[in-house]
């Protein structure tokens, strides 16, 4: 095997030398033979004749030697390549058109494959990431499992699990970091000491946390995220060993993490659990109901996912039995989710849909180029026939055609790669709206391989189609040598079939794009239930280590609100816990309604939010009944609540909810409903409002996001507000400044961009399909020139000829559209999840798309038709 | 006249070449002479197929070729048996004996 390879390679690399050697060897043999014969007394001429006679054909022997070198296929390939290149050079327009079409087809596929590969296929950037799971728990009715974990919960799962190798915790806090020129708010991931070991993350510099560093009394340490290290510390490793003050304690930086997906959230720094003053509060640690953490785990080697799932369910059942007061009555469960699915849940359907659409683009591009090749072949019938007559096998001719098409496809692939490479940054920005893995998208070896593969495959496919049509035509072509352009019925049918399928596929995409555009428009037109214009939101965090009492915090926010309202340009200001489109997860909790006997299992749930007086006026939510919260609803006043319209309708339809009382703690205390407000699309403009309960801010919580309606441009008030916060307390940092208008457009952006991308793909396919149709019609007119000439001499008017050609083209288009509509009906149903406010069968969209397509198709047929009508019958008949 | 001889099974020519080279390295012309001599001029190697056979054997790694001076002071390509070639020769010889013995038996009983 090895000898064979070495031999072939040697012959291949030393082609010239090998040829010379062969020649010398054989010549040496003959000379020797002649010498011997001369010695035996023959004349030199006779000896030469005899030697050659004995030897047989020298050239044939050489050929056979070369054959036995095993490098033969390369000769053929080289010849094919030369011929292909020559053929393509002779028709640069044709070649360019093919390469351009293929570049588009391969380019979009490469680009989208790089996205799908980077996000969905490649291994997680965590060591052994496939065995990482996220643990969730909650009420049995809550399929998501939104309940956070308490220290006690985690300890129990860790102790009782048979299938989880390690169980680690995570929660995010916002702390104030002192020790740099300005107080800085840092998003802090608070984790178990072995969190990074479980995730398989090695530090870029320094170290991560050591065993025991999350235990009580350990010296506080910090690990920086890569982004924060770059942005705030200039990527200077001297930061390791430096000390910063957080929560009134010195924390020493011990390491820097490599770039990682911003998951579970984007964090600036990480600290061990013991360093977080909330997490390590002894009362909190002892309280099973004090829940704030997420839990990650690694499956034990050999433990299957299902097995682990059964394991945690069993633990949940045990805990619910043992501590009935600490877990939701009426069913408590826990479940696992694979981390890799968790990271890409939102991205997967969209990206796969786009990749499928790009596959269709390539299909159409292929069909188009195959058609172009077929037309080209028409002009090369003679060449092929002669080659066949001279002994080229069908295989050899097929290879020739496929070499040509593959050459084109590779050129297209190279150009497509350039497209994908250019689009990379745009795609990363796009994908980042769906998944924290977006940064992993790159044009790497896997993508290169993919491009090479689809290029070669494409070349073989569209090269084989014309080759198939060409079979068995040798005899006829040679006989028909007089005819200028002979065309078989079969081949004409094949070309028509290609065009019809192009039209059908393009129409599917066009309709899909139409439905998505309508959905995007519908979402943008949705009444969000609030007025987003000129509303500024701003997170202000208090330095918890100095604001140890709720009274202090309340005082701070009271001053902040009062002073904000006094600022020029501020219409009103309020505080809110959860505001519309703030990207927080829904917070559903069960509640009781006074006077109603509801079994615990059927306890109603609603999404909880908290708002201060003036909140609804500030963001523009209408009051439907009762009254808004006021300053009189302070912490000593009776507890009040407001409900949204959905909730009012669900539980008090036909009655007035105002004055009714509800309880969130099993009836210990009751809050009176004082008003009903309109529904707000809190979690997405395309998501129904759902039931919502608002509690009053000083009564249930003391802090919140500052929400300000401004008279003019919100940005102009921002600086004044920041100054105000600094004046009240310079150690309380401001973050997350945005406007509701921005939040709204951020919320619309993913759908808008997906629609844009999809529409781009659709337009591409339509353009390619229409150009294919135009090409077919032009060829058909050329082929039928003499027939048209005859018709005209027999009295057909140019108008009739025009309509004849148009009818022929549009008949194909109609057939394609009918097939496409059928396909679209099936496929758009699959894509129903991407639609909003429009049915997958929306007749208007289908009608408009077909009208558009027909208009474009008519334009494409018009030119060839006009040319046909303008034919001079005499001229045609004389030359034809 | 040569057709019946050149129709020798391909393997047979290979076997003869390997056997000949087992004695000493040789060039193509020498091999054809030697086979002719040893076989008492019964076997006559078609020189047109000798060289392709040699190249084939070389590709399989059974023989090696080097350029060297021949007895009449010309440069000639010498072929020599490799270790794998020797193994092959042993196997082939064995095989040949078995087959020819079998054929002999068949012919004897017929």
Question: What DSSP assignment string belongs to A44-81?
Answer: HHHHHHHHHHHH--HHHHHHHHHHHHT-HHHHHHHHHH
- Which residue from A658, A653, A647 is spatially nearest to A690, judged by alpha carbons? A647
Nearest beta carbon to residue B55 from set A32, A55, A65: A65
Between β-strands A605-611 and A570-577, what pairing exists: parallel, antiparallel or unpaired?
Answer: antiparallel
Q: Which of B49, B59, B76 minimises the CB distance to A28?
A: B76
Query: Mean pLDDT across the stretch B17-38?
Result: 86
Judging contacts by C-beta atoms under 8 Å, the chain A residues touching residue B75 are 24, 28
In A, which residues are within 8 Å of B48 by CB distance?
55-57, 60-61, 64
For an interface test with B, the pick among A32, A35, A53 (most B C-beta atoms closer than 10 Å) comes out as: A32
d(CA A834, CA A828): 9
User: A61 vs B48: CB contact, 8 Å cut-off?
Assistant: yes
Longest dimension (CA), chain A: 136
Nearest CB to B55: which of A3, A55, A68?
A68
Chain B: which residues have CB within 8 Å of chain A?
Answer: 27-29, 46-49, 51-53, 55-56, 58-61, 70, 72, 74-77, 84
Give the DSSP H/E element, type plus range, for residue A844: helix A843-869
A68 closest CB neighbour out of B48, B59, B70: B59
C-alpha torsion A631→A633→A634→A638, nearest 10: 160
Q: Report the pLDDT value the prediction gives residue A763, as an integer from 0 to 100.
A: 94
- The answer to whether A524 touches A382, Cβ cutoff 8 Å, is no
Q: Does A57 touch chain B (CB under 8 A)?
A: yes
**Residue A544 Cα distances to A244, A329, A541, A553, angstroms:** 16, 34, 8, 9
Domain span at B88: 3-109
Whether the CB of A527 is below 8 Å from some CB of chain B: the reply is no
**Can you list the pairs that A626-632 forms with residues at least 24 positions away whose Cβ atoms lie under 8 Å?**
A626/A658, A626/A673, A626/A674, A626/A675, A626/A676, A627/A674, A627/A675, A628/A675, A628/A677, A629/A674, A629/A675, A629/A694, A629/A696, A629/A697
Residues of chain B found within 8 Å of residue A3, distances taken between Cβ atoms:
59-61, 84
Nearest CA distance, A775 vs chain B (angstrom): 52
Which regions in chain A score pLDDT beneath 50?
Answer: 481-485
Q: Would the CB atoms of B51 and A24 count as touching at under 8 Å?
A: no
Asked if A4 and B84 come within 8 Å (Cβ–Cβ), the reply is: no
Q: Where are the domains of chain A?
A: 2-70, 71-127+345-486, 148-327, 488-527+745-880, 542-732
Residue B31, domain CATH: 1.10.10.10
Mutation target for B interface from A3, A8, A58: give the one with most B CBs within 10 A.
A3
Residue of B nearest to A60 (CA): B48
Tell me which residue in B29, B51, B72 faces A61 most closely, judged by beta carbons. Answer: B51
Q: Which residues contact A96 (CB under 8 A, 6 or more apart)?
A: none
How far does chain A reach from its first CA to its final CA, in angstroms? 61
Q: Which of B48, B50, B72 best tests the A interface by mutation, with the highest count of A CBs <10 A?
A: B48
What is the C-alpha separation between A39 and A34, in angstroms, rounded? 8
Give strand pairing partners of A221: A252
pLDDT tens by residue, A108-141: 999 999 999 999 999 888 888 889 999 998 876 5
Report the pLDDT value the prediction gives residue A514, as an integer from 0 to 100: 95
- Please state the length of chain A: 880
Query: Which helix or strand (DSSP H or E) is residue A134 part of?
Result: strand A132-139
pLDDT score recorded for residue A362: 93
- For A752, the token pair is 């808008």
Residue A859, CB-side half-sphere exposure with 13 Å CA sphere = 10
**3-state DSSP of A468-504:** HHHCCCHHHHHHCCCCCCCCCHHHHHHHHHHHHHHHH
Residue B110 — very low, low, confident or very high, per pLDDT cuts 50/70/90?
low
Q: How far apart are CA A204 and CA A279, in angstroms?
A: 27
Q: Which of A29, A552, A117, A166 is nearest to A351 (CA)?
A: A117
Name which of B47, B52, B72 is nearest A68 (Cβ-Cβ): B52
A717: nearest Cα among A501, A570, A590 = A570
Contacts of A70 in chain B (CB under 8 A): 59
Query: Going by C-beta distance under 8 Å and a sequence separation of 6 or more, which residues neighbour residue A389?
Result: A474, A478
Q: How far apart are CA A139 and CA A591, in angstroms?
A: 13
Does B48 sit within 8 Å of A68, measured CB to CB? no
User: For residues A177 and A781, what is the distance between their CA atoms, to the nearest angstrom?
Assistant: 77
Tell whether A72 lies on the interface with B, counting CB pairs under 8 A: no
The verdict on a CB contact (< 8 Å) between B60 and A64 is no
CB contact under 8 A, A29 and B28: yes
Token pair for A385: 């026939």
Interchain proximity A64–B48, CB inside 8 Å:
yes
C-alpha dihedral, A336 to A831 to A107 to A94, nearest 10°: 160
CA distance A43 to chain B (A): 20
Give the residue, B42 or A162, on which the prediction is more confident: A162
Q: Indicate the pTM of the whole model.
A: 0.78
Interface contact A18, partner B, CB < 8 A: no
Residue A238, number of CB atoms within 10 A of its CB:
9
| Preferred mutation among B51, B62, B83 to probe A, highest tally of A CBs within 10 A | B51
Partners of A33 on chain B (C-beta within 8 Å) are 29
pLDDT of B41 higher than 90: no
Residue A124 backbone class (left: φ over 0; alpha: ψ -120 to 50; beta: rest) = beta
Kindly list the distances between the CA atom of residue A75 and the CA atoms of A66, A373, A410, in Å, as whole numbers in the listed order. 10, 25, 20
Number of domains within chain B = 1
Which residue, chain included where needed, has tokens 């042993």?
B90
Cβ within 8 Å of residue A119, ≥6 positions away: A344, A347, A351, A431, A434, A435, A437, A438, A440, A441
Strand partners, A177: A184, A246
């Amino acid at each position: 095997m090895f000898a064979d390879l070495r031999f072939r390679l040697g012959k291949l690399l030393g082609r010239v030398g090998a040829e010379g050697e062969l020649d010398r060897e054989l010549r040496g043999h003959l000379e020797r033979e002649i010498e011997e014969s001369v010695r035996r007394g023959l004349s030199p001429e006779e000896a030469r004749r005899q030697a050659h006679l004995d030897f047989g054909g020298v050239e044939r022997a050489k050929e056979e030697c070369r054959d036995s070198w095993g490098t033969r296929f390369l000769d053929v390939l080289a010849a094919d390549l030369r011929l292909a290149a020559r053929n393509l050079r002779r028709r640069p327009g044709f070649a360019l058109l093919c390469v351009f079409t293929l570049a588009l087809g391969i380019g979009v596929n490469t680009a989208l494959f790089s996205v799908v590969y980077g996000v969905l296929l490649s291994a997680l950037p965590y060591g052994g990431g496939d065995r990482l799971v996220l643990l969730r728990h909650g009420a049995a009715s809550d399929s998501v499992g939104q309940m956070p974990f308490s220290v006690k919960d985690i300890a129990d799962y860790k102790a009782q699990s048979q299938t989880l190798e390690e169980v680690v915790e995570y929660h995010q806090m916002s702390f104030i970091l002192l020790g740099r020129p300005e107080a800085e708010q840092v998003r802090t991931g608070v984790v178990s000491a072995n969190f990074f070991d479980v995730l398989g993350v090695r530090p870029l510099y320094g170290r991560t946390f050591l065993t025991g560093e999350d235990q009580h009394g350990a010296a506080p340490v910090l690990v920086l995220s890569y982004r924060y290290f770059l942005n705030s510390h200039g990527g200077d490793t001297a930061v390791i060993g430096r000390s910063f003050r957080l929560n009134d304690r010195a924390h020493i930086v011990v390491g820097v993490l490599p770039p990682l997906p911003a998951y579970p959230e984007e964090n600036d720094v990480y600290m061990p659990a013991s360093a977080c003053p909330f997490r390590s509060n002894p009362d909190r640690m002892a309280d099973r109901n004090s829940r704030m953490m997420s839990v990650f785990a690694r499956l034990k080697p050999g433990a299957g996912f299902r097995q682990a799932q059964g394991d945690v369910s069993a633990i949940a059942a045990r805990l619910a039995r043992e501590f009935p007061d600490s877990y939701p009555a009426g069913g408590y469960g826990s479940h696992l989710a694979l981390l890799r699915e968790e990271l890409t849940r939102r991205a997967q359907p969209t990206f796969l849909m786009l990749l499928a659409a790009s596959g269709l683009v390539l299909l159409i591009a292929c069909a188009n180029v195959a058609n172009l090749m077929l037309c080209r072949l028409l002009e090369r019938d003679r060449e092929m026939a002669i080659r066949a007559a001279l002994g080229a096998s069908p295989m050899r001719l097929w290879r020739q055609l496929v070499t040509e098409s593959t050459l084109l496809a590779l050129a297209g692939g190279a150009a497509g790669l350039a497209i994908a490479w250019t689009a990379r940054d745009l795609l990363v920005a796009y994908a980042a709206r769906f998944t924290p893995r977006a940064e992993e998208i790159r044009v790497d070896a896997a993508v290169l391989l993919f491009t090479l593969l689809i290029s070669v495959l494409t070349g073989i496919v569209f090269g084989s189609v014309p080759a198939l049509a060409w079979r068995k035509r040798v005899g006829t072509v040679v006989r028909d040598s007089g005819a200028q352009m002979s065309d078989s019925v079969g081949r004409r049918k094949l070309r028509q079939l290609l065009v019809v399928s192009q039209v059908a596929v393009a129409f599917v995409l066009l309709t899909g794009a139409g439905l998505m555009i309508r959905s995007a428009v519908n979402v943008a037109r949705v009444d969000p239930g609030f007025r987003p214009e000129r509303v500024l939101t701003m997170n202000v965090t208090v330095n918890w280590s100095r604001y140890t009492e709720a009274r202090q915090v309340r005082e701070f926010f009271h001053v902040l609100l009062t002073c904000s309202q006094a600022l020029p340009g501020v219409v009103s200001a309020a505080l809110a816990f959860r505001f519309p489109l703030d990207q927080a997860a829904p917070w559903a909790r069960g509640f009781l309604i006074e006077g109603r006997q509801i079994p615990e299992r059927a306890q109603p749930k609603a999404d909880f939010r908290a708002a201060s007086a003036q909140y609804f006026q500030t963001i523009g939510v209408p009051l439907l009944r009762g009254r808004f919260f006021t300053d009189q609803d302070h912490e000593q006043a009776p507890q009040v609540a407001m409900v949204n319209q959905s909730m009012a309708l669900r539980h008090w339809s036909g009655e007035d909810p105002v004055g009714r009382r509800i309880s969130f703690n099993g009836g210990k205390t009751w809050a009176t409903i004082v008003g009903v407000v309109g529904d707000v699309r809190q979690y997405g403009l395309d998501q129904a409002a759902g039931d919502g309960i608002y509690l009053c801010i000083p009564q249930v919580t003391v802090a919140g996001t500052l929400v300000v309606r401004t008279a003019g441009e919100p940005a102009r008030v921002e600086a004044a507000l920041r100054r105000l916060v600094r004046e009240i307390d310079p150690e309380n940092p401001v973050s997350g400044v945005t406007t509701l208008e921005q939040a709204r457009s951020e919320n619309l952006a993913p759908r808008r961009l997906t629609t844009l991308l999809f529409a781009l793909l659709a337009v591409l396919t339509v353009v390619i399909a229409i150009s294919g149709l135009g090409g077919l019609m032009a060829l058909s007119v050329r082929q039928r020139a003499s027939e048209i000439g005859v018709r005209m001499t027999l009295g057909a008017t140019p108008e009739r000829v025009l309509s004849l050609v148009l009818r022929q083209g549009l008949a194909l288009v109609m057939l394609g559209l009918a097939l496409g509509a059928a396909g679209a009906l099936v496929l758009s149903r699959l894509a129903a999840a991407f639609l909003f406010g429009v049915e997958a069968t929306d007749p208007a969209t289908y009608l408009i798309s077909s009208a558009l397509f027909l208009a474009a198709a008519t334009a494409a047929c018009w030119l060839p038709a006009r040319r046909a009508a303008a034919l001079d019958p005499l001229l045609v008949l004389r030359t034809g | 006249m040569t057709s019946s001889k050149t129709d020798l099974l391909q393997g047979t020519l290979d076997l003869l070449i390997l056997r000949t080279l087992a004695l000493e390295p040789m060039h193509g012309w020498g091999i054809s002479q030697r086979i002719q001599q040893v076989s008492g001029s019964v076997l006559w190697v078609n020189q047109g197929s000798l060289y392709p056979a040699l190249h084939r054997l070389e590709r399989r790694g059974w023989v090696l070729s080097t350029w060297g001076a021949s007895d009449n002071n010309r440069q000639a390509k010498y072929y020599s048996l490799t270790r794998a070639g020797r193994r092959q020769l042993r196997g082939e010889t064995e095989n040949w004996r078995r087959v020819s013995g079998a054929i002999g038996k068949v012919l004897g009983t017929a």
